[in-house]
């Protein structure tokens, strides 16, 4: 059965210590959390709270700069939580502005993926909407394909993709088709709803949530992860997100 989690970035405006956030999540039906940093809480304390409230670390977002400059420390922190997946959550649009830029981005990510594999970790990349810009090649037969499509083609399965279905819809793409194309490369899938290009609460936007969850399962996803970039009420969003994903769980 696919497991459910919340990306803790969703709760950042609560402005409370990480242990408190974890205890809030532990009161819902979520199976786990995806981290967005550990604030000042030690990995040992965080691991103890996870065990206390019955949650699993689905993975963590880590900036590419932190991974390139201090990979061992990042790995050590999240290994202590029982996590084996790290995801680069964002790269600027300039990294996807040309076919050559996409190729260089792919090499950069694959280099990190290879380093992490030696530490028994898997690297993923989380999309927004700007990766779907059309990028013209130079004499290639696939001119006119998006930067996202080129990134997938230019990298191998050492780099997983954490597809964010909401941002895909915001960019005008069908996330169900993308999930089918990414079968075997999407262990984590972000379930987000959007309206007019902006994140909204699940069920209030344009995303076919049920179809996305089914497609995620069929593509081999282990976790479906709720994220809202800017909830008006983080506590209510946490509760609603848990209820909706539980109702959609395959």
Condensed to tens digits (0 to 9), the pLDDT of residues 193-231 reads 999 999 999 999 999 999 999 999 999 999 999 999 999
Residue numbers of the domain that contains 241 = 3-248
236: domain CATH number?
Answer: 3.20.20.150
Note whether 149 and 164 are within 8 A (CB).
Answer: no
What percentage of the chain reaches a pLDDT higher than 70? 97
> Global pTM?
0.96
3 state DSSP class of 224: strand
Q: Is residue 140 scored above 90 in pLDDT? A: no
The 10 Å CB-count burial string (b at 16+, else e) for 69-96 is eebeebbebbbbbebbbbbbbebeeebb
Contact 176, 211 (CB under 8 A): yes
pLDDT tens profile 46-82: 999 999 999 999 999 999 999 999 999 999 999 999 9
* Domain total in the chain: 1
């Amino acid at each position: 059965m696919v497991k459910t989690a919340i990306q803790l970035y969703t709760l950042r405006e609560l402005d409370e210590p990480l242990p408190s956030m974890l205890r809030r999540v532990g009161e819902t039906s979520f199976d786990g959390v995806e981290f967005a940093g550990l604030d000042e809480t030690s990995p040992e304390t965080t691991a103890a709270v996870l065990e206390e409230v019955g949650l699993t670390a689905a993975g963590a977002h880590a900036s590419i700069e932190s991974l390139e400059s201090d990979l061992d420390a990042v790995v050590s922190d999240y290994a202590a939580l029982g996590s084996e997946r790290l995801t680069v959550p964002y790269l600027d649009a300039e990294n996807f502005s040309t076919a050559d830029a996409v190729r260089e981005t792919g090499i950069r990510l694959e280099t990190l993926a290879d380093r992490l594999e030696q530490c028994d970790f898997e690297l993923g990349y989380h999309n927004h909407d700007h990766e779907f810009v059309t990028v013209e090649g130079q004499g290639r037969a696939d001119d006119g394909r998006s930067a996202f499509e080129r990134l997938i083609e230019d990298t191998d399965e050492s780099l997983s993709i954490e597809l964010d279905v909401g941002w895909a819809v915001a960019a005008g793409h069908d996330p169900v088709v993308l999930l089918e194309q990414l079968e075997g490369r999407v262990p984590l899938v972000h379930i987000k709803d959007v309206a007019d290009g902006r994140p909204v609460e699940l069920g209030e936007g344009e995303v076919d949530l049920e179809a996305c969850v089914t497609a995620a399962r069929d593509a081999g996803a282990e976790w479906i992860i709720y994220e809202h970039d800017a909830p008006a009420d983080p506590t209510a969003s946490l509760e609603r997100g848990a209820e909706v994903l539980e109702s959609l769980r395959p």
